[in-house]
Amino acid sequence: MNIEAEQSGIRLDVFLAAHLENMSRSAVQKLLESGAVTQNGSMLRKQDKTVAGTIYEVRLPELKETAIVPRDLPLDIVYEDEDVLVLNKPKSLVVHPAPGHWDDTLVNALMFHCRDSLSGINGELRPGIVHRIDKDTSGLLIVAKNDFAHQALAAQLQDHSLSRTYEAVVKGGFKEDEGTVDAPIGRHPVDRKKMAVTEKNSRPAVTHWKVLERFGQYTLVECKLETGRTHQIRVHMAHIHHPILGDTVYGNPKPELGQDSQCLHAKALSFYHPRSGARITVSCPRPAYLEALLEKLRR
């Protein structure tokens, strides 16, 4: 992991927690205590500060398949039948088990709610999960309750008939009212935990954006995904020099306006029901943190 100039001076455990996907700060601290983070073979401490140009080596623990413990955690379900469940995921909730989050994830809650009724196509650690949504992104996520539904929904992701609409607060103002980012996305050439717009080992990625409200130095935009690459909206908005407010990975590494994670909300989903073929469209309101931020920007 290479430290860039604008990332210098950040406490190491804070920096790593922001850049290692699905790892909490406490989990990162355990990594540091175990000697899994080094610089030129020397162990580092959690209170060490990042230095520009430095390369850190991080040895992540091997992911082991494990039985998921069902947990009675609250779920905000906006649609459900015998095949499909759509829920409104709160910000900060990890979707599937990973180091540091084995029993407090969305999957743990789904296992309790659905019992034995979840698809198994994505394996033991991700039952029912059809598409990704980041830990710090709020909003709608579709879950398949059997393999038949999962295969049908996955096909809709491939042919783009499963529509996903997001709202985001981004940095800067726009001259245009709408536009499209058509730029391939692949692994970052240096930091393998990040994605980037790149021609090498990449896949096509298309995001359509539209201005909803302007606030001078910030803008509320609507983003519609034509493709579904990892971190797509975050990478594409940063690529056009409008990183998402609070995105310390692809934007300013320090919090702004009290936001220390991306202000991104999945507000709407539309898909064909796997069994009936009927078009299902669902939406959810903006979370409280986003409404409060927008009121602050309007003032």
Helix (H, G, I), strand (E, B) or coil at 293: helix
Mean pLDDT of the chain: 90
Burial 1-11, CB ≥16 within 10 A → b, else e:
bebeeebeebe
Amino acid at 107: V
Q: Which domains are delineated in the chain?
A: 5-58 (3.10.290.10), 63-159+281-299 (3.30.2350.10), 160-262 (3.30.2350.10)
Residue of 223, 205, 44, 256 whose CA lies nearest to 137: 223
Spatial contact of 131 and 141, defined as CB atoms under 8 Å apart: yes
- The answer to whether 134 is a known catalytic residue is yes
Q: Which helix (H) or strand (E) holds 264?
A: strand 264-272
pLDDT tens digits, one per residue of 56-111: 888 876 645 457 889 999 999 999 999 999 999 999 999 988 777 878 899 999 99
DSSP string, 128-151: TB-S---TT-EEEEEEESSHHHHH
Helix (H, G, I), strand (E, B) or coil at 42: strand
- The pLDDT score that the predictor gives to residue 163 is 96
pLDDT tens digits, one per residue of 118-162: 988 777 778 899 998 999 999 999 999 999 999 999 999 989 999
Q: Which helix (H) or strand (E) holds 148?
A: helix 147-159
- The pLDDT score that the predictor gives to residue 54 is 86
Question: How much is the pTM?
Answer: 0.77
Residue of 119, 63, 129 whose CA lies nearest to 96: 129
Q: Which residues are registered as beta bridge partners of 186?
A: 196, 202
Q: Active-site residue among 13, 134, 136, 247?
A: 134
Spatial contact of 265 and 226, defined as CB atoms under 8 Å apart: no
pLDDT tens digits, one per residue of 176-216: 999 999 999 999 988 878 999 999 889 999 999 999 999 99
Spatial contact of 229 and 207, defined as CB atoms under 8 Å apart: no
- The pLDDT score that the predictor gives to residue 52 is 85
